[in-house]
Amino acid sequence: MVEVLETKRAATTFRVLTAVAERGPAVNQEEIAEAVGVTSQAVSEYISDLADRGFVEKEARSRYRVTNEGVDWLFQQANDVRRFADHVTDDVLGSVQEDAAVATAEIEEGETVSLSIEAGLLHATPGETGPATGVATTDASEGTVVGVTNFAGVIDLEPGEVTVYQVPPVRAGTAPDIETLTAARSAEVVAADGVEAVVALREAGIEPDVTVAAGEVAADAAGRGMDVVVVVSADRTGRVTDALRDSGLAYEVTDA
């Protein structure tokens, strides 16, 4: 069980420390109490407990700082909550919802199918040979859409690799290394963020698949097992890496 979901006190401790991290260091107990929905006296007790655990340090009157240990604990708990939410969404609710898949052969309604991800899309194959299965809710012929429900098992899928190439912004007055960008030709998805990125790819003979929301698209594609290259103007790299980091995906940043 996720620690911060075990008891009301554990959940409130998590929320208090989050409020201190979000609003600190110039934050008072009344502000935390209002944000969390408890009394100021309760906040004082929670902060005292957090200080005893080494998660918070008091710098001055009504000034608190989250320690490195507190940050690590927040990250750990947040990741645990995220994994639990993914479990509820994918494993619990996923077993009762209906989804669409590409039929790899003729399928009849009510037939058990094996599920896989190919080119980022869910595919259904007649039979129970795969580690993940479902039940068809519609008839389908090869290459058409089939409805699937009653999901069981886990699809064997490794996240794709994500490489981020930074190109100089126009104001830098330097040209990108076009030869480096030719490596993007082997990627299943090529995304570009910024005019400089789009033009650099075109000079390398590559037309980007995506020119908006590059970070979000890259995260979604990699999560579906596709290898992705993102080319981005160096002054916009943070927007891309933030989206990848929020998705928990590993990535490599290289200058071009």
Tens-digit pLDDT profile for residues 90-101: 665 555 578 899
Higher pLDDT, 106 or 23: 106
Mean pLDDT of 127-142: 92
Helix (H, G, I), strand (E, B) or coil at 124: strand
pLDDT of residue 86 exceeding 80: no
Weakest-pLDDT range from 3-7, 54-58, 115-119: 3-7
Closest CA to 194 of 161, 170, 221, 162: 170
β-strand partners of 49: none
pLDDT of residue 113 exceeding 70: yes
Higher pLDDT, 98 or 135: 135
The pLDDT value given to residue 152: 84
Query: What percent of the chain has pLDDT above 90?
Result: 57
How far is residue 208's CA from residue 169's CA, in Å, rounded to a whole number? 18
Weakest-pLDDT range from 36-40, 83-87, 88-92, 110-114: 88-92
Per the prediction, the chain carries an average pLDDT of 89
Tens-digit pLDDT profile for residues 190-243: 999 999 999 999 999 999 999 999 999 999 999 889 999 999 999 999 999 999
How far is residue 192's CA from residue 80's CA, in Å, rounded to a whole number? 32
pLDDT of residue 65 exceeding 80: yes
The pLDDT value given to residue 28: 78
List Cβ neighbours of 52 (8 Å cut-off, separation of 6 or more).
Answer: none
The pLDDT value given to residue 157: 77
Q: Which residue has tokens 């160096």?
A: 234
Residue 249: Cβ within 10 Å count: 18
pTM for this structure? 0.56
Give the Cα-Cα-Cα angle 151, 155, 156 (nearest 5 degrees): 165
pLDDT of residue 127 exceeding 70: yes
pLDDT of residue 66 exceeding 60: yes
The pLDDT value given to residue 203: 96
